[in-house]
Structure 1
Amino acid sequence: MTNWRIRDFQPGDLDALLRLWDQHRATSTEPVYALGEVLASTRKDTAVVAVKGDDVVGVAVARAAHDQGWIVFLGTDVDHRRDGIGGALLQAIEQRMAPQGLQRLSILVPDEQTQVGALSKAGFADKRHLRFFEREIPVKQREILLLRELGGRVLPPDRWESIGGMQHEKDILERRLVLPLSDPQLAEHYGVVPPRAIVLFGPPGTGKTTFAKGIASRLGWPFVEVFPSRLAASSKGLAGELRETFEQVDGLDHVVVFIDEVEEIASHRGGEPPSPTQGVTNELLKIIPAFRERPGRLLICATNFIRALDQAFLRHGRFDYVIPIGLPDDAARRAIWQRYVPEAVADVVDVDALVSRTAGYSPADIEFAARKASQVALERAVAARDSDTDVPAGPNTDDFLAAIDATRTTVSAEVSREFDEDIVSIARV
């Protein structure tokens, strides 16, 4: 959990910039750009700072040239260089410069400089012996307005890495999806056709939406979520609005389209009279083949009730993979708990006990229990402070165990059993 924030550069930040400039020169090589150029860019170009409390602990300054953005200064306080601030500053610069129509963001780094970890983690590639780092901006200017109309966005590049545990599912998605989609030339060389559409299925709260967003983040593609409930409110009707949405999506060079609770628009057809959703199911079955014809796009559908889907919906040719996302195993639950246990008490909380006690809990269940325990500890700390007694550092093991016991699990034994059956009869990985 970060204890700093990013904001735009303000004139009052000048002293902090000079301090970070001096630190940079003392601990690294001479910056490529002169101080005068950096100061000029803070006034007329793009500049952001990282602030912890009242202190500026990082700064990034950039300028635009034709279709390219250049980082003219990136500096982080020496005491915070392992806190991920550099990557966050680069991401903030990219978000502010993308609407200018820039296609790439670059930075020149002297050969002698060794502190380039933030650049590599942020997706920049070392292009030349001069250490010319460059990162493609995934969304062009002409796509910005279209993305806004669709309610889409480009997700931070760390979403994939932040998924706690679930390593088995991540490995499958990395191999089956990310590898061929991120390097289509290599896939073609080996005769692999990159996937165009997949289904994620599993009990509620197991992280299907999180995985969909993580895949978009991992690929660096825009993420557009289609909400069946919103489509239904359109005057064009559900089928008409769905068709128009996918026609708009066609204007994006790369995109991950996500439909959650897809059973709402792809349920079993038939019966007398026909079900109200039969028309939209038919429309969706026509849309998917057309969507698959163009490269650089991926449709991800998620469902908690895969048995409710129309049989024709899942057949080969429409969906490349039907991937189960189940409850987290011990390793995954450990990773999830480590994310939610505050750093101040991480060494004293018995995580093994929390992992053992939460078998059968979904990631959402664990998050709820963790937040409940932290809330109890916060209230206890406020009471202790008001009574002038010792204030606890944070929630303890008993707080977490009590919160776990008070949390009703989302997935019943029957739902879990049906999911295991669906893996055998429906999954396709």
Structure 2
Amino acid sequence: MTNWRIRDFHSADLDGILHLWETLKAHNVEPVYALSEVLASCEKDHAVVAVQGEQVVGAAVGRAAHDQGWIVFLATLPEYRGRGIGTSLLAAVENRMAPHGLNKLSALMPESETRVEAFLSRGFALKKNLRYFERTIPVQRQELGALGQLGGRVLARDLWENVAGMRKEKELLERRLVLPLAEADLADEFGVVPPRAVVLFGPPGTGKTTFAKAIASRLEWPFVEVFPSRLAGDPQGLAGALRETFLEIAELEHAVVFIDEVEEIASQRAGDPPSPLQGVTNELLKIIPAFREQPGRLLVCATNFIRALDSAFLRHGRFDYVIPIGLPDRQAREAMWQRFIPAAVVDSVDVELLVERTEGFSPADIEYAARSASQRALEKAVYDDGGLASGGEVSVREAVRKGPSTQDYLDAIGDTRTTVSAEVLADFLEDIEALGRV
């Protein structure tokens, strides 16, 4: 667990910036920008600091001009390097500069500076024979207004890496979706038509929404979620509002468009007279072919009940793939537990036993059990084991250091009601055979 944090620069941090500057000089690193420029940008442009307690242990300073942004200073104390602080500082200062609508972010570093990992991990490209870093901002300035109107956003770059486990699903999505979309020119050379629309299906809580967001993060495309329930109150009706929304999405250069629980607006059409939702289904079936004609975008629909979808909805030509997202396997469950158990106690917890006991758990179930165990352990440490409420002299901080134990996790697992029943899982396996298309 990290014991440092990132926050905005305060005037009282000037001494900390000066100390970082002097530390660079002491290690024979000559900053590109003069100290006066860095200090001026701290006050009037964009600056963030990493602090441990009240000590400034790192800083990043950025300056924006028109659609171009520059990192004018990035430094971390030597004893704090290798902890990901530089990457976090770059991410934070970029977020502060985002309202300017930048389409390029660059950095000049002295030739003697060899610690470039922070820039590379943030997507900058190293220019040959130069310490010049450049990153293309995925959303152009002129698109920000339209994206804001749609409620869309650009997600963090690390969402894909943060999807714990689920290696099989991630590899499939990487190969089928991300590769041909991210490398469109290369795909064209091989005669591959990039996908335009996919359906993710599976039991509740298996991470379909998380995967949709991770795909957008991996591509660095804006993520726009369409909520039919919100559109239903539009004066022009749900069908008209849906059509208008997709016309607005067409104004974006790139987009991952996500519709969750799509069965609500694309269910089987039947009955006489037709139900009001049949008009919505018909409108969506018209929208998809037009959407597919536009490059640089991907429609992701998710459903827990793929059998409820209209048969015309899943036909070839509308959706390129119909991909199952199931319960996590043993490897995925282990990765999730490793992620949720605090680093301070993970070595003392029987992770293998937790993995075994959570077979049949969805990712949401595992997260709930992990957080429940942590909450119970916290309450027990503070109130029941010589903590404040029992009149003991143990401080809250000392008590909490114990952290959750294996038994705490097992108790939480035993009290967790799983999302996916045996019947639902059996239906899902049948749906993979009958409707899956990968």
Tell me the TM-score normalised to structure 1 length: 0.97
- Structure 2: distance between partners of 1:3 and 1:235: 51
The answer on whether the counterparts of 1:202 and 1:304 sit within 8 Å (CA) in structure 2 is yes
The answer on whether the counterparts of 2:102 and 2:137 sit within 8 Å (CA) in structure 1 is yes
Is structure 2 residue 44 aligned with structure 1 residue 39?
no
User: How far is 1:2 from its partner?
Assistant: 4.8
Q: Deviations over 1:13-52 (max 9, x none)?
A: 1111112222233346211112111112112222122233
- Structure 2: distance between partners of 1:81 and 1:146: 40
Greater shift in the superposed pair: 383-392 or 102-111: 383-392
Amino acid at match of 1:7: R
Q: Deviations over 1:138-186 (max 9, x none)?
A: 1112111211111111111000000000000000011111111111111
Equivalence for 1:290: 290
User: How far is 1:303 from its partner?
Assistant: 0.5
User: How far is 1:57 from its partner?
Assistant: 2.6
Equivalence for 2:374: 374
- Unpaired segments ≥5 residues, structure 1: none
1:49-68 pair list within 5 angstroms: 49-68=49-68
Amino acid at match of 1:395: P
The number of residues matched between the two structures is 429
The answer on whether the counterparts of 1:165 and 1:335 sit within 8 Å (CA) in structure 2 is yes
Greater shift in the superposed pair: 224-233 or 344-353: 224-233
User: How far is 1:293 from its partner?
Assistant: 0.9
Equivalence for 1:239: 239
Equivalence for 2:101: 101
Q: Deviations over 1:217-240 (max 9, x none)?
A: 111111111112111122221111
Amino acid at match of 1:419: F
**Secondary structure at 2:257 match in 1:** strand
Greater shift in the superposed pair: 200-209 or 55-64: 55-64
The answer on whether the counterparts of 2:181 and 2:195 sit within 8 Å (CA) in structure 1 is yes
Tell me the TM-score normalised to structure 2 length: 0.95
Is structure 2 residue 259 aligned with structure 1 residue 259?
yes
Amino acid at match of 2:146: L
Equivalence for 2:315: 315
Q: Deviations over 1:116-149 (max 9, x none)?
A: 1111111111123112111001111211121111
Equivalence for 1:411: 420
The answer on whether the counterparts of 2:66 and 2:100 sit within 8 Å (CA) in structure 1 is no
Is structure 2 residue 158 aligned with structure 1 residue 193?
no
Pick the aligned partner of 1:388 from 393, 397, 413. 393
- Structure 1: distance between partners of 2:5 and 2:264: 39
**Secondary structure at 1:203 match in 2:** coil
User: How far is 1:393 from its partner?
Assistant: 1.6
Q: Deviations over 1:286-312 (max 9, x none)?
A: 111111111110110000000000011
Amino acid at match of 1:91: A
**Secondary structure at 2:302 match in 1:** strand
User: How far is 1:254 from its partner?
Assistant: 0.7
**Secondary structure at 1:246 match in 2:** helix
Is structure 2 residue 430 aligned with structure 1 residue 428?
no
**Secondary structure at 2:225 match in 1:** strand
**Secondary structure at 2:49 match in 1:** strand
The answer on whether the counterparts of 1:94 and 1:137 sit within 8 Å (CA) in structure 2 is no
- Structure 1: distance between partners of 2:273 and 2:437: 33
The answer on whether the counterparts of 2:67 and 2:141 sit within 8 Å (CA) in structure 1 is no
**Secondary structure at 1:155 match in 2:** coil
**Secondary structure at 1:428 match in 2:** coil
Equivalence for 1:112: 112
User: How far is 1:3 from its partner?
Assistant: 4.4
Equivalence for 1:351: 351
Amino acid at match of 1:427: G
- Structure 1: distance between partners of 2:243 and 2:295: 19
**Secondary structure at 1:102 match in 2:** coil
